[in-house]
A and B are shown apart, each in its own frame.
Chain A
């Protein structure tokens, strides 16, 4: 059977259970696809031996039981931010060169316990800091989609390798993480589905920390049903993460009824930003009409502090990063600089961090250091946390008023050419203008592809849900997906 690597998780699960093919067949199809996709630079550490061993084990498990978990035998890519035991895990940073964790992240362990197969580790922005996968020590990941100009485009970031790999059918799905939009923006740029769950739904244990109050892992998949299936296997309470929610995990797939009649969908006026391209405004209007046609009630809403989300984020995230990244000191793991005669421990720290961190990471660590430093803590950090409270309150107010989900564009543009936004860090930060509010408020958000722009590049919409109601959010997203009927795939050039 050919093209097994192009299946959805749901189709692969059904085929595996019926015995149409084996997990080994699926895995080999993906490994072959990865082998010829070097030009995308999506997989940066290949683990074919691990994959073949896990696939063989999955085949045994599938043979023995009709009730094998849905993820049993499903080949995945794992973002390099997840610590995987004995396998390089370096958050796309030179400072973790050679690091092989002695432990497994809870999310990847949960997936493996469910029988999933790891094909390898996926490219990303260094320490998940970036919106274009151009800050990686492995070099750029490349979007499988091209426009008429033929230019190589960004797959988005920070989960750029995950997005490129899923869009190019190198794996059935991938793990991502999202601190300001790092699942949803790359998903929108590559025509796939990306879900950031409610903060606390997935354990952060074993995921290299960027900004602990914002980071959340989630699935990056071909469609909404797959996101529901994979989230169910990733999440759950974990005593090793004190912010992991001790809540039962519902059957997210069972929530996909397709019935959204009577649901109230909010359209926030503050997201209609100045200079929004017509094509983005158009997909947003089209999506609104689709949900209305499906029986939802559309209401205009206001989230008055939206404008301040990005500035608040660029205080809070660097502040937390400067603290989290203090651990890269050349003592316990990763890179240590060669020292000159007479160098003491301070020189070792300073040289190690100068050599190991890339430019964007240094910039954010230093900005974070500054906003936390004596004399500025109140003016910057505390003020940003107050604004964050107001942003969260904006959402709570509309949910209290009866809004079930909020529909917005996922990104302010389609995927842009690599190398385009290097000069000004703030221009790059604006990529996350529609997604970052969701992290600040800890809410679930999902990006769904709904159309193509005039150049043939995918565009996505974002749905934002109530906390802990991923099932309901996925159901609304599923309705949108069915109405949009997005089936376009990138033409293979790699």
Chain B
């Protein structure tokens, strides 16, 4: 599998990271180095093996579905780059 600059641009877009078009060829090359390393996994016979989903076999803990927290608006917003009137503020989303 070889990644071209077009694929690199697509991945950057999916990851929401702006990449200067001039940097795309180098980025594609780095991806290819790493994916080349990963390709070794194709040597392994994984027939009949289930993908590992849990590190230790355990049922995830559950708790009662009740409110345990609240009234933390100031704490929640305290690190926001832009908070107004009790909300996170962002650029216009819908035209």
Task: Identify the A interface with B (CB < 8 A).
Answer: 98-102, 198-200, 213, 239, 242-243, 245-246, 305, 307-308, 310-312, 314-315, 322, 326, 329-336, 339, 343-351, 353-354, 357, 362-363, 365-367, 369-371, 373, 380, 382-390, 392, 424-426, 429, 441-442, 467
Contacts and interface: CB of A to CB of B under 8 A. Distances in A.
B14 A386 contact: no
Contact of B52 (A335, A347, A388): A388
A311 B41 CA distance: 7
B71 interface: no
A343 B18 CA distance: 13
Given A336-B82, A386-B46, A392 B52 contact: yes
A103 to B, nearest CB: 8
A314 B79 contact: no
A386 B93 contact: no
A339 B81 contact: no
A389 B50 contact: yes
A353 B92 CA distance: 19
Contacts of A307: 40
A307 to B, nearest CB: 7
Nearest to A246: B61
Contacts of A357: 17
Interface string B46-62: 10011111011010110
Nearest to B61: A242
Given A350-B18, A426-B34, A467 B56 contact: yes
Nearest to B92: A344
Interface string B15-39: 1111100000001001101110111
A18 to B, nearest CB: 41
16 contacts: A102-B75, A199-B56, A239-B63, A242-B60, A243-B55, A314-B34, A331-B88, A334-B81, A350-B17, A357-B17, A363-B34, A366-B8, A387-B44, A388-B51, A390-B46, A392-B52
Contacts of B15: 322, 353, 362, 365-366, 369
Contacts of A354: 17-19
Contacts of A370: 3, 11, 31, 35
A198 B49 CA distance: 24
Main secondary structure of the interface of B (DSSP, over half): loop
Contacts of A330: 81
Given A346-B16, A370-B31, A424-B33, A213 B55 contact: yes
A425 B33 contact: yes
B18 A308 contact: no
A102 B79 contact: yes
Contacts of B34: 314, 363, 367, 425-426
Contact of A102 (B33, B49, B78): B78
A349 B14 CA distance: 11
B90 interface: yes
Contacts of B86: none
Contacts of A365: 15, 17
A80 to B, nearest CB: 16
Nearest to A363: B30
Contacts of B53: 385
A389 B3 CA distance: 28
A349 B91 CA distance: 10
A350 B16 contact: yes
B79 A245 contact: no
What 10 pairs across the A-B complex have the smallest Cβ distances? A385-B51, A336-B81, A442-B55, A333-B79, A350-B18, A354-B18, A386-B46, A389-B52, A102-B75, A349-B16
A345 B17 contact: no
